[in-house]
């Protein structure tokens, strides 16, 4: 529960009025935690046509008052958070921003901050403060211990302290960034990671192949790839479109990912083993350090001379999180088709891309990683920190032609996503996203359950280490 005695020096009451504009997945998550945490004056709204339905839904929730629109929220609240689609932030702030109460603090939950900053600076009155935020996790992940970015943009220290206090019930880990650094970090971590998973999904859907039924993609780290891919496609397209298309740094990074996939694939096609190994090992040394073979435990050496334990769990444990059909009690067949070496083009391209862009993923991991980014580094280190695994992947990539058609689909998909982001078309993005999502939709429910349990197990094990 909130301790009113802990409220910092500020001109607002012990129980500030909190306003939430946009009651989609994130607005609802905040409403729940803030209400459970003991805040008693939370005014919320979505678009006016949802007023009656929202009012009914929150009738018995302590502390929550549903109002018709953002004007009513803005007039009453000491702290207001916009949780609307990034694409619409300018329009929504233009409409409600001028109604903001004098001296209030305004925040935004958008995943990309450049348009939010512009909208706030353009449409908010001079006499209100701006302290923005961004929870670096999806609405179904517990916020406890997850990074929550706070951006003290145009605000005195008491305003930042009050926002920290209001968000205390989330029990998140505050990360302090500027608007500009936020977009740089999330382009490195989220946008390019999503490009990899979106491309995997599109490649499998184009090949009309469910990966959990196909030998190279079953078991161990393949389960991580498949579960995260499905998790992304079961979320809302606009979240990914916004953070890729509207982030000024994301297009270049996603473009590099597609270039890395293309160039590596050409080396594979030409069976240019020397050049492929040279390029991949150089990227590995740059991203994971050069002394990987010396750590017998499989730990990763860090720039500060220490080592860190691997992010992922053992293959056997990861095997539990499969979407493949369980064996029947009488069956003598193995639980799933036997795994076979994979060329891992999506991962080779990721590490090459990090190296080309001089991105140090471990630096981001410590500071501001989403669960998805953490898993993705985990998968990459699992492959790259093991010389035999990496070598087997390179052999498969060069000499096992059965991977060629999937790798070709992957390159086409990665190029398509990069072009779509470069063109900046939300409509094209939506169509591409929904087409692939439609192919997998039948498994979203299972994927949410299995993927959620997998993320929980991995997060718990990495916080213990």
Ligand X SMILES: O=C(O)C(=O)Cc1ccc(O)cc1
Binding site for ligand X (CB under 6 A): 111, 136-138, 190, 232, 239, 243, 370-372
Per the CB < 8 A criterion, the answer to whether 352 and 256 are in contact is no
Q: Which does 242 bind (CB under 5 to 8 A by kind): ligand X, ligand NDP, none?
A: ligand NDP
| DSSP H or E stretch at residue 437 | helix 426-440
Q: What minimum distance in Å lies between the beta carbon of 268 and ligand NDP?
A: 34
Q: What minimum distance in Å lies between the beta carbon of 297 and ligand NDP?
A: 34
Q: Which does 22 bind (CB under 5 to 8 A by kind): ligand X, ligand NDP, none?
A: ligand NDP
Binding positions for ligand NDP, 228-257, rule CB under 6 A: 235-236, 239, 242
Q: Which does 249 bind (CB under 5 to 8 A by kind): ligand X, ligand NDP, none?
A: none
Q: Which stretch binds ligand NDP (CB under 6 A): 1-9, 132-140, 304-312, 440-448?
A: 132-140
The percent of the chain in helix, strand and coil, each rounded to the nearest 5, is 60, 10, 30
Closer to ligand X by CB, 176 or 399: give it. Answer: 176
Per the CB < 8 A criterion, the answer to whether 436 and 205 are in contact is yes
Q: Which does 70 bind (CB under 5 to 8 A by kind): ligand NDP, ligand X, none?
A: ligand NDP
Residue 211 within binding range of ligand NDP, rule CB under 6 A: no
Residue 346 within binding range of ligand NDP, rule CB under 6 A: no
Give CA–CA dist 462/458, Å, rounded. 6
Dihedrals phi, psi of 307, to nearest 5 degrees: -120, 160
Give CA–CA dist 397/345, Å, rounded. 8
Q: What minimum distance in Å lies between the beta carbon of 137 and ligand X?
A: 5
**Residue nearest ligand NDP (C-beta atom):** 24
Give CA–CA dist 253/235, Å, rounded. 22
Close Cβ partners of 267 (under 8 Å, ≥ 6 residues apart): 275, 276, 279
Q: Which does 38 bind (CB under 5 to 8 A by kind): ligand X, ligand NDP, none?
A: none
Burial pattern 341-378, b for ≥16 Cβ within 10 A else e, equals bbbbbbbbbbbbbbbbbebebbebbebbbbbbbbbbbb
Q: What minimum distance in Å lies between the beta carbon of 453 and ligand NDP?
A: 18
Close Cβ partners of 341 (under 8 Å, ≥ 6 residues apart): 216, 392, 393, 395, 396, 400
Q: Which does 322 bind (CB under 5 to 8 A by kind): ligand X, ligand NDP, none?
A: none
Give CA–CA dist 388/45, Å, rounded. 55
Q: Which does 371 bind (CB under 5 to 8 A by kind): ligand NDP, ligand X, none?
A: ligand X
Q: Which does 192 bind (CB under 5 to 8 A by kind): ligand X, ligand NDP, none?
A: none
Binding positions for ligand NDP, 135-154, rule CB under 6 A: 135, 138-139
C-alpha separations of 51 from 67, 93, 394 in Å: 7, 19, 57
Q: What minimum distance in Å lies between the beta carbon of 243 and ligand X?
A: 6
Closer to ligand NDP by CB, 153 or 284: give it. Answer: 153
Binding mask 82-121 for ligand NDP (x = CB under 6 A): -xxxx-x---x----------------xxx----------
Give CA–CA dist 283/277, Å, rounded. 10
Residue 172 within binding range of ligand NDP, rule CB under 6 A: no
Q: Which does 7 bind (CB under 5 to 8 A by kind): ligand X, ligand NDP, none?
A: none
Strands 300-301 and 307-308: antiparallel
C-alpha separations of 181 from 53, 124, 130, 285, 427 in Å: 39, 22, 16, 26, 28
Residues found in the chain:
465
Q: What minimum distance in Å lies between the beta carbon of 84 and ligand NDP?
A: 4
Close Cβ partners of 150 (under 8 Å, ≥ 6 residues apart): 131, 132, 133, 160, 163, 164, 174, 175, 176, 177
Q: Which does 190 bind (CB under 5 to 8 A by kind): ligand X, ligand NDP, none?
A: ligand X
Binding mask 17-46 for ligand NDP (x = CB under 6 A): ----xxxxxxx-----------------xx
Close Cβ partners of 361 (under 8 Å, ≥ 6 residues apart): 188, 189, 287, 354, 373, 377, 380
Give the interface with ligand NDP as residue ranges (CB under 6 A): 21-27, 45-47, 70, 83-86, 88, 92, 109-111, 135, 138-139, 235-236, 239, 242
């Amino acid at each position: 529960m909130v301790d009113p005695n802990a409220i910092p020096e500020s001109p607002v009451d012990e129980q500030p009025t909190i306003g939430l504009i946009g009651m989609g997945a994130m607005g609802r998550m905040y409403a729940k935690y803030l209400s459970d945490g003991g805040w008693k004056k939370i005014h919320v709204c979505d678009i006016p046509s949802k007023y009656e339905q929202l009012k009914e839904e929150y009738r018995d929730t302590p502390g929550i008052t549903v109002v018709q629109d953002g004007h009513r929220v803005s007039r009453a609240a000491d702290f207001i958070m916009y949780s609307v689609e990034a694409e619409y932030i300018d329009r929504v702030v233009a409409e409600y921003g001028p109604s903001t109460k004098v001296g209030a603090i305004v925040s935004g939950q958008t995943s990309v901050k450049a348009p939010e900053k512009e909208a706030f600076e353009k449409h908010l009155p001079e006499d209100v403060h701006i302290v923005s935020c961004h929870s670096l996790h999806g609405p179904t992940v517990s916020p406890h211990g997850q990074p929550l970015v706070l951006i003290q943009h145009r605000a005195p220290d008491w305003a930042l302290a009050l926002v920290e206090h209001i968000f205390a019930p989330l029990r998140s880990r505050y990360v302090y960034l500027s608007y500009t650094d936020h977009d740089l970090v999330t382009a490195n971590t989220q946008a390019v990671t999503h490009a990899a998973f979106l491309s995997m999904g599109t490649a499998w859907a184009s090949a009309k192949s469910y990966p959990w039924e196909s030998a190279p993609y079953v078991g161990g780290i393949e389960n991580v790839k498949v579960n995260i891919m499905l998790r992304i496609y079961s979320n809302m397209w606009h979240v990914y479109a916004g953070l890729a298309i509207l982030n000024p740094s994301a297009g270049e990074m996603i473009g590099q990912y597609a270039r890395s996939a293309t160039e590596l694939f050409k080396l594979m096609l030409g069976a240019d083993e020397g050049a492929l190994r040279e390029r991949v090992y150089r990227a590995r040394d740059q991203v994971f350090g050069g002394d990987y073979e010396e750590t017998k435990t499989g730990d990763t050496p860090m720039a500060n001379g220490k080592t860190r334990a691997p992010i992922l769990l053992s293959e056997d444990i990861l095997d539990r999180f499969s979407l493949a059909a369980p064996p029947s009690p009488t069956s003598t067949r193995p639980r799933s088709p036997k795994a076979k070496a994979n060329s891992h083009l999506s991962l080779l391209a990721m590490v090459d891309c990090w190296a080309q862009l001089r991105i140090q993923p471990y630096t981001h991991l410590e500071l501001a990683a989403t669960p998805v980014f953490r898993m993705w580094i985990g998968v990459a280190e699992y492959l790259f920190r093991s010389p035999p695994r990496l070598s087997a992947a390179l052999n498969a990539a060069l000499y096992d032609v059965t991977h060629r058609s999937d790798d070709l689909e992957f390159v086409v998909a990665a190029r398509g996503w990069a072009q779509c982001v470069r063109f900046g078309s939300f409509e094209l993005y939506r169509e591409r996203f929904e087409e692939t999502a439609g192919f997998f939709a039948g498994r979203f429910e299972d994927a949410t359950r299995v993927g959620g349990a997998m993320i929980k197990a991995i997060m718990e094990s990495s916080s213990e280490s």
